[in-house]
Amino acid sequence: MSLAKLISVARGDAPADLLLKNARIVNTFVGIIEEGNVAICEDRIAGIGNYLQAKETVDLKGSYLAPGLINGHIHIESSMLHPAQYAQAVVPRGTSALITDLHEIANVAGFDGIEFVMDWAQTLPLDMFFMAPSCVPATHMETSGAEINAQDIKKVLKWPNVIGLGEMMNFPGVTSGNKQVLSKIAAAEGRVIDGHAPGVTNKQLNAYVAAGIYSDHETTSTEEGREKLRRGMHLMIREGSSEKNLDALLPLVNDRTYKRCFFVVDDCSCSDLLREGDIDAVVRKAIRKGLEPVRAIQLATINTAEYFRLYDRGAIAPGYIANLITINDLSQLEIDMVFYKGRLVAREGSHLLPPPETSANKLTDTVHIKPFKIEALKLTTKAESLPVIEIIPGQIVTKKRVERIKTKDGVVMPNIDEDILKLVVVERHKASGNIGLGLVKGFGLKQGALASSIAHDSHNIVAVGTNDSDILTAIREIERLHGGLVVCSDGKIVAALPLPVAGLLSPEPVEVVVDKFESVERAASGLGNVPPAPFALLSFLALPVIPELRLTDLGLVDVLEFKLI
């Protein structure tokens, strides 16, 4: 971009490349609506005012004009969509930028996984900013496909569009002063460092924040959010497919605190992206719950941009990137046109650019399981009671329960009447033969089994079921597909979604992926009284950084004590 040309257009001496006239402009700096014309020069906003000259003019006829939305914390891998297909889903929804740390695909494929997404990002009408993954693996209590250390983080931080250190999930490592964890934080000195501190309060919170970590997206209660705001953290208000915290945290947004709050999605399924939306869905829901529309837009634009030091976006102002959306009805956030760097790229919910070719030809050989027989799934004990992972509806935190269990000849049996089912995690990166066995309560299956190669964050294969035979059949189908989601009943595969790219993503068009995903969700629901988003719930049962109890390929993890039990 020519700076001299931009200034000339701003002065009114040269015609704009694009003029958006008769706009009601959402001013995110001061929270007002102002009327005027917006002159755009190449990819930048030149000025707001009574501009008349332009090579192209679009009369907005009083429609609202707002900055493009920014998703402040998202794992695009959770959509199960190839990066190009992800953009197809979110750009028409008004998302013009996102911040992601790619620790999902990095835990599978290391630098190759990161570079895969970065390469695609350069081709899309969407700005992707990256945080160097801080937890690959998340802990020492699981097996991942790669490892990223402090020296690696220094290397990644030099790459284009890498703006900070991704969520520091190993919060016990931070607060206990673990040398390796602190070396990663030191490697990112002077950069934004994202937090991940579920249930961390009091002096433990002080210790966590003292390390230079100033945000958190794992807050689930009003009181917890209030304390984190008072200790100087930015509150990422999360509303995703399986993690829904808007109801609890929205009351904290007021005239004194709103600049320290912004909206994030974290994890969102392809189905929810297509049916409900991305960050726009969070804004819409917040407005329905009483948040003033302009303030809701501030929490999805300028607040996010300023936290991540992206000082050329999040607002409509001279010199800012011309990522803009037009809105027909502000109270409903009814988005019409989407401009990316001054170019119209979507309208009325549809892309105006042809989708790129996304055939699977990279990262498609990542599922490696050491052969095992059904006997390896037997869980034996002499005890009458065992620890059980209890699911909490609508949350990814779990409860640690000790339950009387059903046995036969010393072998633990699923107790369908009490909803205590077998949970299995099979290592799939190094063919080590590691198999973690445990019990879970709250899945509601009455028959069959579910299996997935999406198992945060190391993404081994995780399966839940009412019997070992169906569990084994489902796991073997995952292996055959090179990754995916599988529903099995009576020894037969009822439904499946192949995810051949890193065992996490599909290269197929978003509508095709959604159709297959909804088919596996329906098939899973048909096996009993299954909670909503069963595969999302299943994917988090192997994540040993979320309290209280988890299962990895190495065994059962008590997260609060941060040890294998």
Q: How far is CA 223 from CA 30, 67, 172, 208, 364, in A?
A: 28, 32, 21, 18, 45
Q: What is the pLDDT of residues 96-122, one digit of tens each?
A: 999 999 999 999 999 999 999 999 999
User: Mind spelling out the 3-state secondary structure of 142-204?
Assistant: CCCCCCCCHHHHHHHCCCCCEEEEEEECCHHHHHCCCHHHHHHHHHCCCCEEEECCCCCCHHH
* Confidence class for position 457, pLDDT limits 50, 70, 90: confident
Q: What is the pLDDT of residues 191-203, one digit of tens each?
A: 999 999 999 999 9
**Mean local confidence (pLDDT), 347-361:** 83
pLDDT at 410: 92
Q: What is the pLDDT of residues 394-437, one digit of tens each?
A: 778 899 999 999 999 999 999 999 999 999 999 999 999 999 99
Q: What is d(CA 285, CA 219) in angstroms, rounded to the nearest whole number? A: 18
* Confidence class for position 1, pLDDT limits 50, 70, 90: confident
Is the predicted pLDDT of residue 359 greater than 80, yes or no?
no
pLDDT at 209: 97
Global pTM value: 0.92
* Confidence class for position 355, pLDDT limits 50, 70, 90: confident
**Mean local confidence (pLDDT), 26-35:** 98
User: Mind spelling out the 3-state secondary structure of 71-120?
Assistant: ECCECHHHHCECHHHHHHHHHHHCEEEEEECCHHHHHHHHHHHHHHHHHH
* Confidence class for position 385, pLDDT limits 50, 70, 90: very high
Q: What is the pLDDT of residues 459-516, one digit of tens each?
A: 999 999 999 999 999 999 999 999 999 999 999 999 999 999 999 999 999 999 999 9
Which secondary-structure segment (H or E) carries 484? strand 484-489
Q: Class for domain 69-305, per CATH? A: alpha beta
Q: What is the pLDDT of residues 220-256, one digit of tens each?
A: 999 999 999 999 999 999 999 878 999 999 999 999 9
pLDDT at 47: 98
High-pLDDT (> 70) share of the chain, %: 100
Lowest pLDDT segment from 302-306, 390-394, 509-513? 390-394
Domain with CATH 3.20.20.140 in the chain: 69-305
Q: In what order do the strands lie in the sheet with 420-426?
A: 398-404, 385-391, 435-441, 420-426, 461-465, 449-452, 484-489, 492-498
pLDDT at 271: 94
Is the predicted pLDDT of residue 546 greater than 90, yes or no?
no
- Kindly report the average pLDDT of the chain as a whole number: 95
pLDDT at 202: 96
pLDDT at 242: 76
